[in-house]
Chain A
Amino acid sequence: MRIVKGLIFILAAVLLASCASVNQRSAQQAGSIVDYLYPESKNPPAMTPTVTRLRPPVRVGIAFVPGSSWGNGLPEAEKIKLLNRVKDSFSKHAYIGKIEVIPSQYMRAKGGFTNLEQVARMFDVEVVALLSYDQMQFNDTNALSVLYWTIIGAYVVHGDQYDIQTMLDASVFDVQSHKLLFRAPGTSQVKGSASWANFSEQSRAAQVQGYNSAVDQLIPQLQTELDGFRERIKNDAAYKVENKEGYKGGGSMGWFSLALAALLAGVAYAARRTA
C-alpha cells in the first residue's frame, strides 16, 4: 500500500509539474517586409537610380505585412484598429489626399511588388505604408508556481510570467518606382504575470497591448519622418513634385523676385545719381 501511495504521489507531482510548464517557453509572431517584398531573393535587388514622381495630394494605402503562416499575428479587427491610428497621423498633412486602410486578406504572403502593385491598383493608391512586425513572447514560471499543487492555486496564484517584446516598423513605398520613401520604427516591452488558468487569455491581451504601445511610439516618429520628407523632396533631385489634374496653383517666385526687385532698385538708384 505504501508503494502504491508513493507511486500516486510521484505521478501527481509529475503531472502537476507538467501543468506548470504546459505553456510554450517562447513564441514569435512576425511579418517581415523583406520576406514580403523580396521573397526567395538570394541576391540583393538591383536598384536603378530613378526620379520618383509625386503628385500631391498623394493617395496613400496602409497595410500590415502578411505573416509567413495563416493566423500569424493579430486578429484582423485589432489590425484595422491599429491601422486606423496610423491613418490619423497621415491625415494631418495637406499634401496627403485619400488614405485607404487595406485589409490583410488582400495581402499575399511573399507576394512581392507584384502583389503590392495589384493592391495599389485595386485601392487606387500611389504610395503604400507597410507595417511590418516582430513580436517575441518569453514565458517563465516563478517561485509561486509551486502553489499550483493546491489546484486552487492554479486559478489564483500568479505563477506564470510573460515578457513580450514588440517591434513595429512603418515603411512607406512609392508603388510605381518601388522606392522606399521613409520609415519609422516603434518598439515596446510588456511584462506581466498570470495564473496558470488565465495565462493564455492574459498573455493574448498583453500581446495586443504590446502592439498598441509600439504604435504609440511609432506615431510621433512617423510624424517627424513625414515632416522631414516634406522638406526633403523640395531639394532632393531624386524626387519630382508634379501637378495632378485639378491641382491647386500658387503664384510664388520666392526670394528670386525679391532679388529682382533689389536689382531694379540698384539700377534706379544709379540712374538717379547720374541724372
Chain B
Amino acid sequence: MPLAALPELLEFDRHAVLAGEAWRLWTGHLMHYSPQHALVDLATGLAAGAIALRRTGARRLMLALGLGAPFISAGLLLIAPQCQYYRGASGIDIMLVVLAGATLWPGAGRLARGALLLAAAALAAKIAAEALGQAQGWSALPPDVAIAWQAHLLGALAGVIAAIVLPFNRAKRA
C-alpha cells in the first residue's frame, strides 16, 4: 500500500466509521492536512501533556487520551452530521489544555488563578467565534477544510470530565 494512501485509511471518515472501521475514532486525531497543521498540534499537545503528566501520572494520562479520542470522534458523529471527514489533534490538545489547567488550579495563587480563568474565557470565546464562522483565518487549515469547532467543544468537555473523574495528585495551594 502506498504511503500516500495512509491518511485516507486512518482519517475520521463518517461513512467508514459507521461501516465498522472503528480504528478511525482514534487515528483520525493523528492525521493532519499539512505539516504546519501537524506541528502546531504536536507542540501544543506536548506542552499541555507535559504539564498534566506531573499531576496525573503517565498511566492516567494515557487512559485520558485513550478514552478522550473516541469520545471526541463519537461526539462528531452525533453533533456534526455534516462533517464527513476530520483530521487533527486539536480536540485532544484542548482536552489536555483543560486537564493541565485543572491540575494547576489547586496549587495556583490568586494571580495564577486569574490567568487560568482568563485562558478559560479566551478558549470559550475562540470556540464561539469558530462556531459563528469568524475564525477561519486563524487556523492552519487549507481553505477547503472547515474548522470542526465541535471537536474543540468536545475536547474541552472531555478535559472537564477527565479532571473530575481521574484522581490526580493535587498540589497544595501556594
Which positions in A face B, CB cutoff 8 Å?
56-57, 94-95, 230, 233-235, 240-243, 245-258, 260-268, 270-271, 274-275
Interface string of B88-132 (1 = CB under 8 A from A): 111111100100110010011101100110010011001000000
Interface 9-mer from B18-26, B44-52, B59-67: B44-52
Contact of B146 among A94, A241, A255, A261 (CB under 8 A): A241
The answer to whether B47 touches A249 (Cβ under 8 A) is no
Known interface pairs A234-B137, A264-B119; A254-B144 also in contact (CB < 8 Å): no
Q: Which residues of B contact A270 (CB under 8 A)?
A: 109, 111-112
Residue of A nearest to B126 (CB): A256
The answer to whether A241 touches B136 (Cβ under 8 A) is yes
Known interface pairs A246-B82, A251-B148, A256-B138; A264-B37 also in contact (CB < 8 Å): no
Q: Which residues of B contact A261 (CB under 8 A)?
A: 43-44, 47-48, 51, 93, 97, 100
The answer to whether A253 touches B116 (Cβ under 8 A) is no
Known A247-B82, A248-B83; further 13 A-B contacts with Cβ < 8 A: A95-B142, A242-B146, A246-B84, A249-B84, A250-B88, A250-B145, A251-B87, A251-B92, A252-B139, A258-B43, A264-B119, A265-B47, A275-B171
The answer to whether B101 touches A251 (Cβ under 8 A) is no
Q: Which residues of A contact B116 (CB under 8 A)?
A: 264, 267
The answer to whether B51 touches A247 (Cβ under 8 A) is no
Q: Which residues of A contact B80 (CB under 8 A)?
A: 249
Does B86 count as interface, using CB distance less than 8 angstroms?
A: yes
Known interface pairs A267-B116, A270-B109, A271-B108; A56-B143 also in contact (CB < 8 Å): yes
Give the total of B residues in contact with A, Cβ under 8 Å: 62
Residue of B nearest to A56 (CB): B144
Q: Which residues of A contact B104 (CB under 8 A)?
A: 264, 267-268, 271
Known interface pairs A249-B145, A251-B148, A275-B171; A263-B115 also in contact (CB < 8 Å): yes
Q: Which residues of B contact A235 (CB under 8 A)?
A: 137
The answer to whether B171 touches A271 (Cβ under 8 A) is yes
Q: Which residues of A contact B144 (CB under 8 A)?
A: 56-57, 94-95, 248
The answer to whether A253 touches B90 (Cβ under 8 A) is yes
Does B157 count as interface, using CB distance less than 8 angstroms?
A: no
Q: Which residues of B contact A94 (CB under 8 A)?
A: 142-144
Minimum Cβ distance to chain A for residue B82 (Å): 6
Most B C-beta atoms less than 10 A away, residue of A230, A248, A274: A248
Residue of A nearest to B86 (CB): A249
Residue of A nearest to B148 (CB): A249
Minimum Cβ distance to chain A for residue B17 (Å): 13
Minimum Cβ distance to chain A for residue B156 (Å): 11
Minimum Cβ distance to chain A for residue B130 (Å): 9
Q: How far is the CA of A16 from the CA of B52 in the complex (A)?
A: 97
The answer to whether B138 touches A254 (Cβ under 8 A) is yes
Q: Which residues of B contact A264 (CB under 8 A)?
A: 47-48, 51, 97, 100-101, 104, 116, 119
Contact of A265 among B51, B133, B150 (CB under 8 A): B51
Does B16 count as interface, using CB distance less than 8 angstroms?
A: no
The answer to whether B115 touches A251 (Cβ under 8 A) is no
18 A–B contacts, CB within 8 A, in A order: A95-B144, A234-B143, A240-B133, A242-B146, A247-B146, A248-B145, A249-B76, A249-B150, A251-B147, A254-B40, A254-B140, A257-B90, A260-B122, A264-B47, A264-B119, A267-B101, A271-B108, A274-B109
Residue of A nearest to B172 (CB): A275
Most A C-beta atoms less than 10 A away, residue of B80, B88, B137, B140: B137
Residue of A nearest to B39 (CB): A258
Q: How far is the CA of A57 from the CA of B144 in the complex (A)?
A: 6
The answer to whether B122 touches A234 (Cβ under 8 A) is no
